[in-house]
Amino acid sequence: MDKYKLFYKLMHANGTLVDESGAVPLVFEIGDGQLDPCLESCVKEAKIGKLQTFLLSADESFGQIYDEAIQVMNRSEFPKDMHLKIDVAVEFKTPTGDSFVGCIDKIDGDEITVNFNHPLAGCDVSFQVEILEKHENSSQ
């Protein structure tokens, strides 16, 4: 896969900065998991040496909010020593070893509401990128 060196900023539609490369450029390979696939597709379209901004709707970026991804769980399903707070991300392991991250939305006694939607689900975003270098993999 192609390798890139770039600067980027990911912003919520309301102008809030979500993530950025900062002063040190990101070096990554397409498909290595450092960037979401929707952002990788923008990188593939971007021109080297040109600062570009991609405006992505919720459908084009992190998807819509799905009610079935919001689960009410019992406090007993969490480690006893875990301090549960609203807006805290919690990692869950499935019996097959996969990991899922959910955000605690509500605590009502022993009922804990966990949202497994992507944190940017339902949000339009802007992705600003400046590609410094691209190295094509010749074995494609």
Q: Where are the domains of the chain?
A: 3-63+120-135, 67-115
What distance in Å separates the CA atoms of residue 123 and residue 51, rounded to the nearest whole number? 23
Given a cut of 70, is residue 108 above it in pLDDT?
yes
CATH topology of domain 3-63+120-135: Chitinase A; domain 3 (3.10.50)
**Based on C-alpha coordinates, what's the Rg of the chain?**
18
Local confidence band at 92 (pLDDT 50, 70, 90 cut-offs) = confident
Among 3.40.47.10, 3.30.930.10, 2.40.10.330, 3.30.1330.60, name the CATH number for the domain at 67-115.
Answer: 2.40.10.330
φ, ψ at 51 (rounded to 5°): -75, 125
For the beta sheet containing 99-108, the strands, ordered from the edge strand earlier in sequence to the opposite edge, are: 70-74, 111-115, 99-108, 89-93
Given a cut of 80, is residue 140 above it in pLDDT?
no
Render pLDDT for 37-49 as a digit per residue (tens, 0 to 9).
999 999 999 999 9
pLDDT at 9: 97
CA distances to 28, 29, 71, 92, 133 from 10, in Å:
16, 18, 28, 26, 19
Given a cut of 80, is residue 139 above it in pLDDT?
no
Q: Of 138, 59, 70, which Cα lies nearest the Cα of 102?
A: 70
Q: Which long-range contacts (CB under 8 A, 24 or more apart) does 35-41 make?
A: 36/61, 36/62, 38/62, 39/8, 39/10, 39/127
Q: Cβ neighbours of residue 107 under 8 Å, at least 6 residues apart?
A: 84, 85, 86, 113
Per the confidence metrics, is the pTM higher than 0.85?
Answer: no
Render pLDDT for 3-30 as a digit per residue (tens, 0 to 9).
999 999 999 989 999 999 999 999 999 9
